Amino acid sequence: MLKKFRRLLKRLWLPIILRVWPLAQLWYLLWGLKLEGQPSDEVWYFAFGANMNNSVFLERRKMSQKEWRVGRIKDYRLRFNLEGHPKGKAAPANIEPFPGEEVWGILYLITRLEMVWLNSTEGVPGWRYRPVWLEATDMDGVGMEAFSLIADGKETDGNPSLRYITLLREGARAHRLPEHWIRKLDNVRPAE
């Protein structure tokens, strides 16, 4: 019942906070998060999961981007340690700090207002994902601060659904991520 109430509240509240920035800042503050800047400020978003796929990022999430670049973050690793739906048959992507590793993905340039919308489609603010600011590097070696979403996952990885890992593989190929990263995604065994 509480879950249904929260969803209803989010449906009613989200259109308002997307129009009134101080309310968005208050909403984030109530969740212990800080929402800085102005709605029109541009930020980089680092996508490493299904949001690398245009059918998810542009169509399902109804996002736009002013620019995109292939990029990576260092000292993190890709995990599939979240519980998806159906339980035991899906494990969404996650990242966690891990010295010496790297994660490849897509850097999208969006506004802070679009960031709030994207976060809402991922359940942020909420109890699963939380935004994290990272140092990212594009293919030309240009460094930039980017936000991504991270969650506290299980100790062991599960297997993503075939549908989900296919979204990652297709997104990686469409955006021409490095061949070694595409091979890594190709080697991820989907749930049966």
Residues 52-69 have pLDDT tens digits of: 999 999 999 989 889 999
What is the structure's pLDDT at 20? 87
Q: In the prediction, which pLDDT does 76 show?
A: 98
From CA 19, how far away is CA 22, in angstroms rounded? 9
- Give the burial class of 45: count Cβ atoms within 10 A of its Cβ; 0-12 exposed, 13-18 middle, 19 or more buried: buried
Instruction: Give the pLDDT of residue 9.
Output: 67
pLDDT confidence tier of residue 142, bands split at 50, 70 and 90: very high
Give the pLDDT confidence score for residue 84 in this predicted structure. 75
Structure pTM? 0.91
Model confidence pLDDT, tens digit, residues 6-57: 667 667 777 777 788 998 898 888 888 999 999 999 999 999 999 999 999 9
- pLDDT tens-place string over residues 97-113: 999 999 999 999 999 99
What pLDDT sits at residue 126?
A: 77
Domains in the chain and their CATH numbers?
38-186 (3.10.490.10)
For residue 71, give Cα distances in angstroms to 57, 77, 129: 16, 14, 21
| Residue 89 reports pLDDT greater than 70 | no
Residue 3: count of CB within 10 angstroms of its CB: 7
Work out the mean pLDDT of the chain and round it to a whole number: 91
pLDDT band at 169 (very low <50, low <70, confident <90, very high): very high
Residues of 123-153 as b/e, b for ≥16 C-beta within 10 angstroms?
Answer: ebbeebbbbbebebbbeeeeebebbbbbbeb
Confidence of residue 150 (pLDDT cuts 50, 70, 90): very high
